[in-house]
Amino acid sequence: MIAPSILSCDFSNMKQNFDVLNEGPADYVHVDIMDGNYVPNISFGPDIVKDLRKLSTIPFDVHLMIEHPEQYINVFFDAGADILTVHPQTTAHLSRTLQAIKAKGIKAGIAINPAESLDVLNYTIQDLDLILIMSVNPGFGGQSFITTALDKIKAVRKLIDEKNPSCLLEVDGGIKLNNAQAVYDAGADIIVAGSAIFGATDPLDALKQFRELRP
């Protein structure tokens, strides 16, 4: 599955960008929320997400790169999120935060950064609907893929298959058409691509090429 990241969109032409996603079609719309605190960048808030929600029925995969995400579950749910993914170190009580997300009737995920251990999954895997492996350091689009992520993807694939087969495995960061197949082959269910789609001469063609790839 493919989840284009709208962080790489031309924000002056969002309707046109969403026309591409709808026609592709994309499986998910990946929405990166940054607070300028947990990561050194600021993207947008729930009001923008709510407006964008009107442009598509594709599920919104909302990645919260923010401190204290538990305080914003309700507002992003109200804005139209279908998945909320948090970073474990941003919330004091991770299990409570995951349960609060699931209590809204939407999917809960956690994100693991490139240099971080997978140990947290041993204690949360049963509560997760999605695990997001970051193949770049979070905060900016257009970074290069960190190849050691492939080993991490393989390890998480094995854990999911053993402990929670319904959980989705997503990978985000530096994914292009020339390395996406390796990411799928390592075990990913969903790949996130931003600049590789919206930075292409023909974004719709790029999206369709991603969709032609298969595990």
* Structure confidence by residue, pLDDT tens digits, 8-67: 888 888 999 999 999 999 999 999 999 999 998 889 999 999 999 999 999 999 999 999
Of 87, 83, 79, nearest to 120 by C-alpha is: 87
Going from the N-terminus, what domains does the chain have, and what CATH number goes with each?
Answer: 2-212 (3.20.20.70)
CA distance linking residue 140 with residue 173, whole number of Å: 9
169: β partners:
131
Give the dihedral sign, CA 39/44/50/51: negative
List active site positions.
32, 172
pLDDT category of residue 123 using cuts at 50, 70 and 90: very high
176 pLDDT more than 80: yes
Q: Binding residue per annotation — 141? A: yes
Q: What are phi and psi of 2, to 5 degrees?
A: -125, 135
Q: What are phi and psi of 197, to 5 degrees?
A: -100, -60
Q: Binding residue per annotation — 142? A: yes
What pTM did the predictor assign? 0.95
Q: Binding residue per annotation — 5? A: yes
What pLDDT was estimated at residue 82?
98
Q: Binding residue per annotation — 35? A: no
Query: Where are any strands of DSSP class E within the chain?
Result: 2-4, 29-34, 60-65, 83-86, 107-112, 130-134, 168-172, 190-193
Cβ neighbours around 65 below 10 Å, total = 23
